Amino acid sequence: MAVVEYQAPQSLEDALSILKKTDIKSRVMAGGTDLIIQTKSQTAEPVRVVDLKHIDGMMGYTLDDSGLSLGPAMSCAEFTEAADIKAVYPGLVEAAYLIGSTQVQGRASVGGNLCNASPAADTIPALIANSAQCIIQGSQGERTVAVEDFVNGVGQNCMADDEILKRITIAKPVTGTSDAYLRFIPRTEMDIAVAGAGVSVTLDASGVCTAARVAIGAVAVTAILVPDAAAALVGTSLDESALAAAAAAASAAAKPITDRRGTAEYRTHVVGVLVKRAAKIAADRVKGA
């Protein structure tokens, strides 16, 4: 893509009417940390960038008894500084915190990470583990899509060219619930995930798991929800054999490729290790809290 026009609408309606134009392609932009890299070529298809950051509601959040309602373009830096969000969804916050460097954090957003739909996106397994909902606004009106159904291909999401993700909502978790996100990279920062795991667990007073959601990333075309891995945890006290069974289920569900970031067998193995470890961290958070 080559950027030939820049617009910064002040309202969602203005943004949507720009997207309806058919002269050249439009791309919405939040933090821009993926989009700007994709627009480096002068000889590629001309594109109009529509900056969403000046629109009310795209940048802030509310957190109350109904849960979290998140502006998709809010920077990860601000998102991860919100102690109240971290107290309720520590795994989602740690996933958002892993995106890039401090500099990238200053711009990148949870919504942008989701919409960019990289198979290795860090926020998506954590969003899935938390049963996030995507509120989409188009010219036909508003619709809601479960986050595990939002991404439908490599770099592809379910929105039409004239739709915008306007809000991400996550219901308040029931008591005794916490989450965790782990990713594997060869260094300590900066790398794209070789494998990722987002886990949410609910424990009863005696430490038995009554509910769980396990999602894995970077090991398939999209992040995937693994019901079998969750099932392996439910009804157990997350002992070694339950964790091992969850890990095995995650590895079995993985359909990774071999590329410059890892081999298929390596990813298959490591995603299981991550699920085990993330489940334990989530459980420890419940008990510690």
Residues at the site binding other proteins, with contacts judged by CB under 8 A = 2-6, 8, 31-33, 36-37, 39-43, 49, 51, 53, 75, 77, 100-104, 106-107, 184, 186-192, 194, 259-263, 266, 269-270, 273
Tell me whether residue 269 or residue 285 sits nearer to other proteins (CB atom): 269
Shortest Å distance, C-beta 227 to other proteins? 24
Tell me whether residue 39 or residue 202 sits nearer to other proteins (CB atom): 39
Give the pair of three-digit tokens for residue 98.
Answer: 């892993």
Shortest Å distance, C-beta 254 to other proteins? 15
Shortest Å distance, C-beta 80 to other proteins? 12
Tell me whether residue 38 or residue 69 sits nearer to other proteins (CB atom): 38
Indicate the length of the chain as a whole number.
289
Shortest Å distance, C-beta 93 to other proteins? 15
Give the pair of three-digit tokens for residue 153.
Answer: 């291909």
Tell me whether residue 82 or residue 135 sits nearer to other proteins (CB atom): 82
Tell me whether residue 107 or residue 167 sits nearer to other proteins (CB atom): 107
Tell me whether residue 90 or residue 112 sits nearer to other proteins (CB atom): 112
Shortest Å distance, C-beta 77 to other proteins? 6
Shortest Å distance, C-beta 39 to other proteins? 7
| HEC assignment per residue over the chain | CEEEEEECCCCHHHHHHHHCCCCCEEEEECCCCCHHHHCECCCCCEEEEEECCCCCCCCCEEEECCEEEECCCCEHHHHHHCHHHHHHCHHHHHHHHCCCCHHHHCCCEHHHHHHHCCCCCCHHHHHHHCCCEEEEEECCEEEEEEHHHCEEECCEECCCCCEEEEEEEEECCCCCEEEEEEEECCCCCCCCCCEEEEEEEEECCCCCEEEEEEEEECCCCCCEECHHHHHHHCCCCCCHHHHHHHHHHHHHHCCCCCECCECHHHHHHHHHHHHHHHHHHHHHHHHHC
Tell me whether residue 53 or residue 285 sits nearer to other proteins (CB atom): 53
Give the pair of three-digit tokens for residue 228.
Answer: 């079998």
Shortest Å distance, C-beta 82 to other proteins? 14
